[in-house]
Amino acid sequence: MRVRSRTSPSRDGGEQRGETCPTRSTGGRLIIPALGRIYEAGAPYSYAFIRFATGAILFPHGFQKVFHSSPDRLAVAIGNKGLPLALTLAYLTFFSEFVAAACLAVGFLTRIAAAMIFVQMSVIVIIFQGPLGYFWTERGYEFALLWTALCLAIFFRGGGRWSVDHYIGKEF
């Protein structure tokens, strides 16, 4: 199989040379070579889609907390787990799931938002849902673990090419 060097996104959202990828002309190792064009067309947007989806799927949880719940109510649940500063942690949870999730979706202050959500989801995995097991159908930590992993990856990668961070030319 022949491969050609092509550009790939770098950490700062630009492009770097040297990554090899099967070309559409050789068909690569695709089972259905005709799909190669679709894959190549969508590839530049895939990271932005993952970053957007990670924030956008979490955002409704924050919206629900901000507009249909109260930090005092969440502070009781946090305090019952023995965590200190329960009310402060409740406010941070509201902020993380509402503001940080929105920032993550659009790629604004991406690394800070990803770090905040990563810490929150780590606490959820270990303290709140860990004892219940893995599967979400049993109130387990499956989805919180997924968000933890996604936010860790986003933290290392940053906003990427299709982000507000890239547009304003500054990234934390």
pLDDT digits (tens, 9 = 90+) for 41-63: 999 999 999 999 999 999 999 99
Residue 165 pLDDT > 90 = yes
Q: What is the pLDDT of residue 4?
A: 43
Q: What is the pLDDT of residue 149?
A: 97
DSSP reduced 3-state for 17: strand
Is the model's pTM score more than 0.85? no
Q: What is the pLDDT of residue 171?
A: 85
Q: Rounded CA gap, 65 and 131, in Å?
A: 24
3 beta partners: 22
Q: Rounded CA gap, 171 and 150, in Å?
A: 19
DSSP reduced 3-state for 116: helix
Where do we find the tokens 């924050």? 62
**Which one has a higher pLDDT value, 42 or 25?**
42
* Domain spans of the chain, in order of start: 47-168
Where do we find the tokens 């979706």? 105
Q: What is the pLDDT of residues 139-152, one digit of tens each?
A: 999 999 999 999 99
Q: Rounded CA gap, 162 and 63, in Å?
A: 24
Residue 22 pLDDT > 90 = no
Q: What is the pLDDT of residue 155?
A: 97
Residue 24 pLDDT > 90 = no
